[in-house]
């Protein structure tokens, strides 16, 4: 169960109640020993939320998509939209951030722990699961407590099906009816059944809907703003087992409002006072990453480096109560990596941001973010993970997975967000919308510091080199903007740009045109330094201090970054990875991974890749102290370097 503002109730049950909340208005928690009678205006600590489906389309512009009729009756009007963020504070001052996901079909069930998913498929059958409307709420507090609950919308109303993420988890059969379909003040209803399969735990629940007359205040006496049509629900829920060795009683009152969900609660858990209230900040202060690898994979590469054999890492999720579960997925969006060495991906449905901990044997899911809508691109800026969505939002998460802010763009942002560090050393977010509007967004506050129009649709990517933001557009122009002010510094018209890269150490901006011309420009002045022709269909482009590398399906070519003359050639492949100052580059081929000296092309190590399961798209990048190759069919491979003194 969750409390009124989205925090998992199971965490409160097992870790102790919050500090007492002073009674507000006509809400007062029951005292020990008092019989469970209805309070005049008190409400339940759990809410249920209806569902509007997010239909994943292949066209990024298909934002306003048709959806089936929402189940749940009039009670569905109280539900936040898909991707809604709610920020709450409990009586102890602990802040929690919750996100809402609304889907139709198997996605929500498959995202649950394996035991929960198997139980629901067994109880409902695959056909019913595939047509069901679901609402998933995930939450994380500033002290790291996590939780999730899964609700279903039916013709009978809104029903809680399961909860997980804390020391206890539940699967309710029959589900707890949180709200009847046509709920109104004066209604009463009840539910009872198993809280875990086979009667391991059972529950009884009684509810009453009441008017939310207010006022309702926070701990400092400030009134919580309500919207019209808010509803109160009072509940008494008891969960126990047959021999009464475990029992918990949750007696709560909740106020929740149309389009916002729950906004205030007060009550008791096992006779201990509890309470929460919603706050509505534009941005949430974020934590910084704790553990940073002393050296990343590319930082550690030298001409004497050697690779350990690679491994295919199985994907798994872990729940404190339900244990480990196998995970699977298809990776369609280019991944990124966090400063503390975790892999960032988008799930196969395209609507969740996933952050994975990688070790030598497994990839374990650390946290999931649901920004709302289809995720278009992901990037990292300092300690933030930043996602762009088909809803034209730019959404930032801190290392704990809390959504700290969301900023609206005028169009889709297709290029991954990138960082610009100002004079104080702290990074801000640079984004380029497809409309041609380039913006610098304050990383702490989530507000635009400047926006500049290119007067043409932008092409991905947007890049930063020194104090310049570099972006190409559909009018076949290359523009450099002042990263501090957004003013145009210089502009050139080289032609239709297919690929773009930069090197700060060599002061180069390199473009590969659709015509096959490879052009290098001086980053400061925009003057052309050299120009040559490249044959073949390109797969990657990279510039470092010493070399510019172009990879095509047919061949790979390394050129001197100063003069543009060819230094060496290699077979064609799918990806090149190196840092700006790297002396060694990593080449990924369909059947091998290879380390080469950047200046000479000398092969210093090569290991095979099993190509028994061909993939339509391959992504490669350094993640922490390892190198990762991800295939769009869901295969994740990891390599690391041998110690200089021998195998690890």
Give which of 186, 194, 198 is closest to 162, Cα–Cα.
194
Neighbouring-strand partners of residue 160: 151, 176
Band (pLDDT 50/70/90 cuts) for residue 92 is: confident
- Give this prediction's pTM: 0.88
DSSP 581: T
Q: How much of the chain exceeds pLDDT 70, in percent?
A: 87
The confidence score (pLDDT) of residue 294 equals 63
CA distance 417 to 414: 9
Largest CA distance in the chain: 87
The confidence score (pLDDT) of residue 612 equals 65
Q: Is 157 helix (H, G, I), strand (E, B) or coil?
A: strand
The confidence score (pLDDT) of residue 140 equals 95
Check whether 224 has a pLDDT greater than 60: yes
| Sequence-distant (≥ 6) Cβ neighbours of residue 243 within 8 angstroms | none
Q: Beginning with the edge strand found earlier in the chain, give each strand of the sheet holding 478-482 in spatial order.
A: 458-465, 468-473, 478-482, 488-492
Residue with tokens 């404190």: 320
Give which of 31, 43, 440 is closest to 216, Cα–Cα.
43
CA distance 517 to 534: 6
Q: Using an 8 Å Cβ cutoff, are 607 and 592 in contact?
A: yes
Pairing of strands 315-319, 363-369: parallel
Q: Using an 8 Å Cβ cutoff, are 286 and 398 in contact?
A: yes
The confidence score (pLDDT) of residue 22 equals 29
The confidence score (pLDDT) of residue 16 equals 33
Residue with tokens 């409160």: 12
What are the CA-CA distances from residue 97 to residues 76, 268, 404 (Å)? 22, 22, 8
Q: What mean pLDDT, rounded, does the chain reach?
A: 87
Q: DSSP string covering 246-291, please?
A: SEEEEEEEEEEETTTEEEEEEEEETTEEEEEEEE--SS---PPPS-
The confidence score (pLDDT) of residue 422 equals 84
Model confidence pLDDT, tens digit, residues 194-220: 999 999 999 999 999 999 987 888 878
CA distance 644 to 589: 25
Model confidence pLDDT, tens digit, residues 579-596: 998 999 999 999 999 999
Model confidence pLDDT, tens digit, residues 161-191: 999 999 999 999 999 999 999 999 999 999 9
| Ramachandran category for residue 95: left, alpha or beta (phi over 0 → left; psi -120 to 50 → alpha) | beta
Q: Is 118 helix (H, G, I), strand (E, B) or coil?
A: helix
Residue with tokens 């709450």: 88
What are the CA-CA distances from residue 229 to residues 211, 257, 258, 540, 586 (Å)? 9, 7, 7, 55, 60
| Sequence-distant (≥ 6) Cβ neighbours of residue 614 within 8 angstroms | 590, 633
Element (H, E) at 356: strand 353-358
Neighbouring C-alpha atoms within 13 Å toward the C-beta of 444: 6
Q: Return the number of other C-beta atoms located less than 10 Å from residue 307's C-beta.
A: 18
Mean pLDDT computed over 232-244:
93
| Sequence-distant (≥ 6) Cβ neighbours of residue 406 within 8 angstroms | 85, 371, 393, 394, 395, 396, 446
Mean pLDDT computed over 278-298:
78
Q: DSSP string covering 423-436, please?
A: TTS-EEEEEE-TTS
CA distance 472 to 541: 15
CA distance 98 to 88: 8
Q: Is 382 helix (H, G, I), strand (E, B) or coil?
A: coil
The confidence score (pLDDT) of residue 115 equals 97
Neighbouring-strand partners of residue 445: none
CA distance 175 to 626: 44
CA distance 109 to 127: 13
CA distance 540 to 323: 41
Q: Using an 8 Å Cβ cutoff, are 463 and 500 in contact?
A: yes
Model confidence pLDDT, tens digit, residues 519-573: 999 999 999 999 999 999 999 999 999 999 999 999 999 999 999 999 999 999 9
Check whether 323 has a pLDDT greater than 80: yes
The confidence score (pLDDT) of residue 614 equals 65
Model confidence pLDDT, tens digit, residues 406-454: 999 999 999 999 999 988 888 999 999 999 999 999 999 999 999 999 9
Model confidence pLDDT, tens digit, residues 593-632: 999 999 999 999 999 998 766 677 899 999 999 999 998 8
First to last CA, the chain: 45
Residue with tokens 């295969």: 635
| Sequence-distant (≥ 6) Cβ neighbours of residue 113 within 8 angstroms | 164, 169, 317, 319, 322, 323, 325
Which tokens belong to 161? 């099906």
Q: CA torsion angle for 305, 311, 312, 317 (degrees, to 10)?
A: -100
The confidence score (pLDDT) of residue 351 equals 95
Q: Is 390 helix (H, G, I), strand (E, B) or coil?
A: coil
The confidence score (pLDDT) of residue 291 equals 64
Q: Using an 8 Å Cβ cutoff, are 378 and 386 in contact?
A: yes
Give which of 365, 396, 400 is closest to 290, Cα–Cα.
400
Q: Output the CA angle 153-155-159, nearest 5 degrees.
A: 35
The confidence score (pLDDT) of residue 290 equals 65
The confidence score (pLDDT) of residue 168 equals 93
Check whether 28 has a pLDDT greater than 60: no
Give which of 407, 377, 403, 406 is closest to 390, Cα–Cα.
377
Q: How much of the chain exceeds pLDDT 90, in percent?
A: 73
Residue 131 φ then ψ, to 5°: -105, -5
The confidence score (pLDDT) of residue 262 equals 86
Q: Using an 8 Å Cβ cutoff, are 102 and 81 in contact?
A: yes
Which tokens belong to 571? 């077979």
CA distance 419 to 432: 12
Model confidence pLDDT, tens digit, residues 118-161: 999 999 999 999 999 999 999 999 888 999 999 999 999 999 99
């Amino acid at each position: 169960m969750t409390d009124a503002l989205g925090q998992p109730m199971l965490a409160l049950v097992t870790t102790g109640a919050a500090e007492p909340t002073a009674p507000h208005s006509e809400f007062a928690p029951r005292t020990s020993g008092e019989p469970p009678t209805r309070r005049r205006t008190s409400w339940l600590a759990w809410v249920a939320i209806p569902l509007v489906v997010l239909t994943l389309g292949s066209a990024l512009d298909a934002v306003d998509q048709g959806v089936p009729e929402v189940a749940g009756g009039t009670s569905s009007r109280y539900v936040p939209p898909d991707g809604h963020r709610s920020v709450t504070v409990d009586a102890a001052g602990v802040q929690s951030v919750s996100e809402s996901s609304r889907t139709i079909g198997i996605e929500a069930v498959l995202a649950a722990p394996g035991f929960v998913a198997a139980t629901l498929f067994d109880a409902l059958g695959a056909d019913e699961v595939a047509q069901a409307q679901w609402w998933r709420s995930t939450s994380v507090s500033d002290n790291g407590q996590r939780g999730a609950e899964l609700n279903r919308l039916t013709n009978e109303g809104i029903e809680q099906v399961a909860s997980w993420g804390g020391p206890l988890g539940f699967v309710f059969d029959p589900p707890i009816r949180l709200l009847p379909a046509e709920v109104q003040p004066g209604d009463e209803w009840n539910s009872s059944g198993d809280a875990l399969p086979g009667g391991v735990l059972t529950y009884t629940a009684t509810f009453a809907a009441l008017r939310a007359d207010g006022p309702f205040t926070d701990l400092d006496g400030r009134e919580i703003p309500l919207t019209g049509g808010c509803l109160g629900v009072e509940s008494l829920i008891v969960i126990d087992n047959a021999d009464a060795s475990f029992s918990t009683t949750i007696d709560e009152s909740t106020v929740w409002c149309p389009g916002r969900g729950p906004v205030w609660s007060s009550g008791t858990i096992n006779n201990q006072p509890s309470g929460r209230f919603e706050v509505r900040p534009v941005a949430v202060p974020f934590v910084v990453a704790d553990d940073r690898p002393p050296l990343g994979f590319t930082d550690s590469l030298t001409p004497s480096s050697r690779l350990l054999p690679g491994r295919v890492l199985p994907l798994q999720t872990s729940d404190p109560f339900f244990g480990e579960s196998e995970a699977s997925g298809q990776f369609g969006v280019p991944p990124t990596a966090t400063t503390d060495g975790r892999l960032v991906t988008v799930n196969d449905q395209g609507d969740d941001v996933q952050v994975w901990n990688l070790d030598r044997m497994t990839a374990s899911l650390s946290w999931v973010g649901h920004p709302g809508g289809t995720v278009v691109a992901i990037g990292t800026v300092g300690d933030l993970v930043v996602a762009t969505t088909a809803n034209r939002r730019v959404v930032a998460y801190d290392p704990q997975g809390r959504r700290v802010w969301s900023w609206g763009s005028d169009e889709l942002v297709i290029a991954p967000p990138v960082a610009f560090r100002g004079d104080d050393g702290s990074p801000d977010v640079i984004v380029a919308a497809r409309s041609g509007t380039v913006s610098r967004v304050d990383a702490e506050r989530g507000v635009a510091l400047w926006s500049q129009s290119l007067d043409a649709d932008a092409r991905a990517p947007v890049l930063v080199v020194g104090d310049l933001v570099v972006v190409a557009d559909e009018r076949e122009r290359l523009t450099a903007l002042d990263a501090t002010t957004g003013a145009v510094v210089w502009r050139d018209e080289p032609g239709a740009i297919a690929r773009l890269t930069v090197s700060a150490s060599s002061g180069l901006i390199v473009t590969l045109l659709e015509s096959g011309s490879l052009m290098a420009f001086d980053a400061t002045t925009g003057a052309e330094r050299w120009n040559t022709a490249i044959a073949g269909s390109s797969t990657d482009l990279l510039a470092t201090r010493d070399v510019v590398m172009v990879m095509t399906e047919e061949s790979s070519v390394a050129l001197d970054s100063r003069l543009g003359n060819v230094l060496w050639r290699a077979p064609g492949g799918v990806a090149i990875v190196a840092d700006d100052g790297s002396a060694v580059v990593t080449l990924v081929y369909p059947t091998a991974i290879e380390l080469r000296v950047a200046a000479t092309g000398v092969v210093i190590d090569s290991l095979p890749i099993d190509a028994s399961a061909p993939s339509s798209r391959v992504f490669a990048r350094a993640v922490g102290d390892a190198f990762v190759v991800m295939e769009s069919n869901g295969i994740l491979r990891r390599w690391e370097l041998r110690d200089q003194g021998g195998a690890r």
